[in-house]
Structure formats: structure tokens, C-alpha cells
Structure 1
């Protein structure tokens, strides 16, 4: 499920994608409008089906994470930090599995 939230400033929006167990598996950048955030959700649904859109990264602290990129190369979502590569790959699989048919809940 996607959760679309208005930020505390009241002018910007952010969304997260949660797995069936309620864990956040992808967090968006901040958007200047609700419609831009909604477009971001649609972009996640579409691009999560293309493994080449997932950018696998290693942080300076040695932990692993990934970014999901749109066709234009912009980051549309980032994962949490994972202790190992296997966890990161499981996170990518979870986004691919959950995003396409996920409902949207406005908070």
C-alpha cells in the first residue's frame, strides 16, 4: 500500500510504499504538489517492473540500499539501509511484487 502524506509545512507531499506486513520498503523524495506525488506513485508502479531501474548502492558505512529511478534517470524512491546484499535484493523483490497493484491511502 502507498501512503501519501502532506508534510508538516502543509505545502509539500511525500509517499511510502509498505509491504503486506506493514514495513516501509520504499520512501519517496519530497514533491511540491499532491498531483506530482501521485505521478511519482504511478512512476513507481510502472518502473518497479524493470530491474534495470533499480540502482544498487553501498553506503559509506558498508550497508546496502537501492534507489528506484524513472525513465529520465531521476530518483523516485529509496530504500532503507540493509545489513547485507541479500536483504537489499529481497527489498527490491518486495517493491516489484507490491507496487503494481498497491492501493493509495491518503493520510
Structure 2
């Protein structure tokens, strides 16, 4: 089973998504979106941007 995006609707708060790992654990959560469409666009943005995302570790020790 592959990881999956799960869209959740909360009345009064809107929509958000979780990225769920193959073991069923949530590994990322989004902001809240006002519309379902905006939430789906957020998922597509993550899909497009994540493969090129760089790691910025602000906790790493400096030399």
C-alpha cells in the first residue's frame, strides 16, 4: 500500500488534509482551507513541489 492523502471536512473550520504513511500514521497535516477545491489544490502543490524540496535544518550545529 502506498502513502495517501486524506481529505477531512470539519464544519465551521473548512477542509484540511493529512498525508498518511503506509503504516497508517499521519506524517504531515495541512492548514485549513475554506473550500474543498482549495484543499485539493494544496495537495497538488505538495505533490509538485516536494520532489525538489530542500532540507533546511535550523537545529543543525554550525561549524
TM range (shorter): 0.7 to 0.9
- Look up the SS of the partner of 2:17 in the other structure: strand
Q: Which residue of 2 aligns with 1:3?
A: 6
**How many angstroms apart in 1 are the aligned matches of 2:56 and 2:45?**
15
Q: TM-score, structure 1 length as denominator?
A: 0.47
Give the 3-state SS of the residue equivalent to 1:21 in structure 2. Answer: coil
Structure 1 unaligned blocks of 5 or more: 59-84, 86-107
Cα RMSD (Å) of the superposition? Answer: 2.0
TM-score (norm 2): 0.76
Deviation at 1:57, TM superposition (A): 4.9
Structure 1 residues 57 and 19, CA gap change in structure 2 (3 angstroms): farther
The 2-side partners of 1:38 and 1:32 are apart by 11
Matched residue, 1:14: 16
Shift of 1:56: 3.9
Q: How many residues align?
A: 57
The Cα offsets for residues 10-39 of structure 1, whole Å up to 9 and x where unpaired, read as: x61010000100111110000010000000
